[in-house]
Amino acid sequence: MKLKIAVLPGDGIGPEVVRQAIKVINVISKKFGHEVEIKEGIVGGIAIDNFGDPLPEETWKICEESDAILLGAVGGPKWDNLPGDKRPEKALLRLRSGFNLFANIRPIPIFDELIFSSPIKEDYLKGVDFVIVRELTGGLYFGKPKETRIENGEEVAIDTMIYRASEIRRIAHVAFRMAQKRKKKVTSVDKANILECSRLWRKIVEEVSKEYIDVTLEHMYVDNCAMQIVRNPKQFDVILTENTFGDILSDEAAIITGSIGMLPSASLGETKKGLYEPIHGSAPDIAGQNIANPIATILSVALMFRYSFDLENEAKLIENSVRKILSLGYFTKDLFNNNPYAKKLVSTEEMGDLICSAIEGGA
């Protein structure tokens, strides 16, 4: 298979973690006989510095011509005082809206070797494995009117939560299709006892569920879900939710893993094209020191093979290789200290090489 991949290293630790991910792309492709065409694009703060634009035309074209996009991280203190629409983060929003990537996928895996660093007790975590499917382009964050006006002599601020049936339907399909390939359960999260948007959400999700008779659907209120993610995370397979609730719940879920530096994400649309990136930021304080953890970016590559290329075996081998290297006691600095499983402290480069050799060895 021919794999056309756009790679956007970005700022801070972006370039060094992406470099490891490129190694992984090359090794896994060679092993499975895929032809890879990687084109690198400039994005974020460095693109602002060089082209006055966080997403230059040339980078957009590279992304447009590719089947999938891998992004490192954007932003840093240098660009923090720019106005909102000139900020490095704007590149992400433009990629998402430009390619209509309405589904944000956040897997919540538990690595036994990292439970020590989770705030949650071990019994509650062992065996946890779920995915949050968050609607990314609608709802309260984008609805109009969004304004502050003067009424009766005082300021009044307004935001609008708005969902069209079709927006709900398409994200529901993403969640149900995902559940079919997993544990066959969708938990749809809303506040249908209070919100109109949630009532429509629930109705459309019910309709869509009829097309997936092998998948169990349950509904949960968002406040209860915030509780259940801590109380009993094992109950979940696929959590489906709207934009604002997903923003809150996905960060809450991330922390229970004890390993934010390990978490990948995908943003998907109606086509196979997707944007893949670690959830961690650009971490400018440790950039260029060869100590950053590249695993979140490497696991984002696994998601790319799974969702954009439908290459499940390749995705699994990448994931198993990461698990193997951790089980052997290799850790980067962020996860080495106090880790009862730690045997050898490795650099960013070394971690990339170790995972590549695990892939070559079939993990």
What residues are labeled active site?
A: 141, 191, 223, 247, 251
227 counts as binding a copy of itself under rule CB under 8 A? yes
* CA pair distance 278, 75, nearest whole angstrom: 14
Q: Which does 1 bind (CB under 5 to 8 A by kind): Mg ion, a copy of itself, none?
A: none
331 counts as binding a copy of itself under rule CB under 8 A? no
Report in angstroms how near the CB of residue 83 gets to a copy of itself at its nearest. 13
Sole binder of Mg ion in the list 112, 247, 349, 350 (CB under 5 A): 247
* CA pair distance 152, 179, nearest whole angstrom: 51
Q: Which CB atom, from 33 or from 84, has the smaller least distance to a copy of itself?
A: 84
197 counts as binding a copy of itself under rule CB under 8 A? yes
Residue type present at position 339? N
140 counts as binding a copy of itself under rule CB under 8 A? yes
Query: Among the residues of 181-334, which ranges form H helices?
Result: 196-209, 222-231, 243-256, 295-307, 312-327
Q: CB under 8 Å to 93, separation ≥6 — which residues? A: none
Q: CB under 8 Å to 33, separation ≥6 — which residues? A: none
281 counts as binding a copy of itself under rule CB under 8 A? no
* CA pair distance 297, 276, nearest whole angstrom: 8
206 counts as binding Mg ion under rule CB under 5 A? no
Question: Sign (positive/negative) of CA torsion 99, 80, 281, 43?
Answer: positive
96 is in an annotated binding site: yes
Report in angstroms how near the CB of residue 268 gets to Mg ion at its nearest. 18
- Please say whether the beta carbons of 168 and 205 come within 8 A: yes
Sole binder of Mg ion in the list 49, 211, 251, 360 (CB under 5 A): 251
Q: CB under 8 Å to 64, separation ≥6 — which residues? A: none
291 is in an annotated binding site: yes
**Interface with a copy of itself in residues 63-122 (CB under 8 A):** 118-121
Report in angstroms how near the CB of residue 260 gets to a copy of itself at its nearest. 8
Provide the b/e sequence for 140-169 (b: ≥16 CB within 10 Å): bebbeeeeeeeeeeeeeeebebebeeebbe
Report in angstroms how near the CB of residue 198 gets to a copy of itself at its nearest. 8
Feature table: binding site for substrate: 96, 106, 134, 223
Summarize as ranges the residues that interact with a copy of itself (CB under 8 A). Answer: 118-121, 124, 140-141, 143, 146-148, 151, 154-166, 191, 194-197, 199-201, 222-224, 226-227, 229-231, 244-245, 247-252, 254-256
Pick out the residues of the known binding site for NAD(+). Answer: 76-89, 281-293
